[in-house]
């Protein structure tokens, strides 16, 4: 039997929320009705697509008499999506209460699931306040203050009372082989890089499983902290895009963020840059973030995240989730990049542990 990603026989083990995959068609949504339902005031003009740095997005920017807002659509297809919506809301409410800087979600009208307002069927919409500023992907961005702020913020999130769940185990390599066989049978472009990726996938799964046998307690974390999601605003910094909330060991999450923060995107590329890794982890620990051993198990969160996101983009490249042409092309690009980068990440782990001390 072919394991259908996220469907019958598959599992919802990934880092994306309700707003990904097939999007509600914006032409089917009345912006005036959304503005009225959320109490945003009269729209000043038509909403526009949110610039997401070339990556697919289901978000729009809406200006009204009361301000500017980010509007997202999605679909709650399964019980996992419903649990994820409540998981996101739980962490965001705790983080807001703790004073962590972020765009404030607008409380949705009923019927609602988390911060999502149900439109019709499984279609949902959510609204958040707009923050003026820019992310840290642009060349020449000053990362010194941002790196320390990010480390402190990770620590503040880690000590919130959001435990009770354990991270999911990665998909077994047997499922990956079935997906590759399906891609090959369909003559899909993603088949070759996915096939090349299998040995590294097997090694990464083995490391994550070994680490999980003696894993410390997990808490809810942001799940996608990167230079793309740290916003420099007139008042300082803010952490945006909370839809990838997931349970994770705090130390593992901090290590994952530290090694990715030297790169523009939270993707397959990882940089062992001591100018980023050491200050971020030092700020995290100084702010009271739970630490952990300086050993290869500390990279289990990074590898689990890479496996989960790569599986998702492989599914998109294969045309699952009603992926359109743009999403399929983006998925192919991510899988191809991961096939190139993941073996190098695994080879680097023994040396990278020195940066954790």
Q: Going residue by residue through the chain, which has 357 residues, state the pLDDT in tens, using 9 for 90 and above.
A: 233 343 323 334 444 444 543 445 565 788 999 999 999 999 999 999 887 766 667 799 999 999 999 999 988 888 999 999 999 999 999 999 999 999 999 999 999 999 999 987 778 999 999 999 999 988 777 899 999 999 999 999 999 999 989 999 999 999 999 999 999 999 999 999 999 999 999 999 999 999 999 999 999 999 999 999 999 999 999 999 999 999 999 999 999 999 999 887 666 778 889 999 999 999 999 999 999 999 999 999 999 999 999 999 999 999 997 899 999 999 999 999 999 999 999 999 999 999 998
73 and 215 in a common domain: no
Scan for tokens 């530290």, then name that residue: 258
148 and 124 in a common domain: no
311 and 203 in a common domain: yes
Peptide bond into 232 cis (omega under 30): no
In a domain, 258, yes or no: yes
Nearest CA to 13 out of 163, 170, 200 is that of: 170
In a domain, 91, yes or no: yes
Please report, for the domain that includes residue 105, its CATH number.
Answer: 3.30.200.20
Contacts of 27 (CB under 8 A, 6+ apart): none
For residue 159, give Cα distances in angstroms to 15, 125, 168, 220, 225. 21, 30, 21, 10, 16
Number of domains in the chain: 2
221 and 284 in a common domain: yes
Instruction: Copy the structure tokens of residue 64.
Output: 């009204």
Nearest CA to 181 out of 165, 168, 192, 170 is that of: 192
117 and 177 in a common domain: no
In the prediction, which pLDDT does 16 show?
46
**Final residue belonging to a domain, choices 129, 162, 196:** 129
In the prediction, which pLDDT does 262 show?
83
107 and 203 in a common domain: no
183 and 283 in a common domain: yes
Give me the helix-helix angle, 173-185 and 300-317, nearest 10°: 20
Q: What is the DSSP string of 243-302?
A: TT-EEE-HHHHHHHHHHHTTSSSSSS-----HHHHHHHHHHHHHTT-----SSGGGGHHH
Single pTM value for the model? 0.90
Its domain, for residue 59, covers: 26-129
In a domain, 11, yes or no: no
Q: How would you class 97 by CB atoms within 10 Å of its CB: exposed for 0-12, middle for 13-18, buried for 19 or more?
A: exposed
98 and 153 in a common domain: no
CA distance 335 to 19: 21
**Final residue belonging to a domain, choices 73, 99, 129:** 129
250 and 314 in a common domain: yes
In a domain, 5, yes or no: no
CA atoms within 13 A on the CB side of 67: 14
In the prediction, which pLDDT does 247 show?
97
**Final residue belonging to a domain, choices 73, 95, 129:** 129
In a domain, 111, yes or no: yes
In the prediction, which pLDDT does 26 show?
63
Scan for tokens 């050491």, then name that residue: 278
In the prediction, which pLDDT does 77 show?
83
In a domain, 263, yes or no: yes
């Amino acid at each position: 039997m072919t394991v259908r990603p996220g469907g019958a026989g598959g599992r919802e083990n990934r880092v994306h929320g309700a707003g990904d995959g097939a999007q509600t068609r914006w032409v089917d949504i009345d912006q005036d009705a959304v503005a009225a339902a959320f109490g945003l005031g009269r729209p000043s003009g038509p909403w526009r697509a949110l610039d997401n740095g070339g990556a697919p997005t289901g978000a729009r920017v809406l200006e009204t008499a009361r301000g500017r807002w980010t509007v997202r659509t999605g679909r709650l297809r399964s019980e996992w999506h419903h649990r994820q919506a409540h998981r996101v809301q739980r962490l965001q409410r705790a983080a807001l209460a703790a004073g962590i800087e972020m765009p404030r979600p607008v409380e949705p009208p009923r019927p609602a699931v988390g911060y999502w307002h149900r439109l019709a069927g499984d279609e949902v919409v959510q609204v958040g306040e707009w923050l003026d500023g820019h992310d840290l992907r642009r060349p020449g961005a000053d990362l010194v203050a941002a790196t320390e702020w990010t480390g402190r913020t990770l620590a503040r999130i880690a000590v919130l009372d959001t435990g009770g769940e354990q991270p999911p185990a990665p998909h077994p390599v047997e499922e990956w082989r079935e997906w590759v066989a399906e891609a090959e049978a369909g003559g899909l472009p993603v088949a070759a890089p996915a096939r090349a990726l299998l040995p590294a996938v097997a090694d990464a799964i083995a490391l994550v499983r070994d680490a999980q046998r003696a894993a410390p307690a997990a808490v809810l974390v942001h799940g996608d902290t990167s230079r793309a999601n740290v916003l420099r605003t007139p008042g300082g910094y803010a952490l945006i895009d909370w839809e990838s909330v997931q349970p994770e060991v705090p130390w593992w999450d901090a290590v994952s963020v530290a090694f990715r923060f030297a790169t523009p995107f939270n993707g397959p590329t990882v940089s062992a840059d001591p100018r980023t890794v050491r200050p971020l982890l030092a700020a995290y620990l100084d702010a009271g973030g739970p630490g952990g051993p300086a050993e290869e198990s500390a990279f289990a969160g990074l590898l689990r995240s890479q496996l989960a996101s790569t599986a998702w983009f492989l599914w998109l490249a294969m045309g699952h989730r009603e992926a359109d042409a743009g999403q399929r092309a983006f998925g192919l690009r991510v899988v191809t990049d991961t096939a190139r980068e993941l073996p190098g990440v695994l080879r680097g782990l023994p040396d990278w542990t020195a940066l954790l001390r």
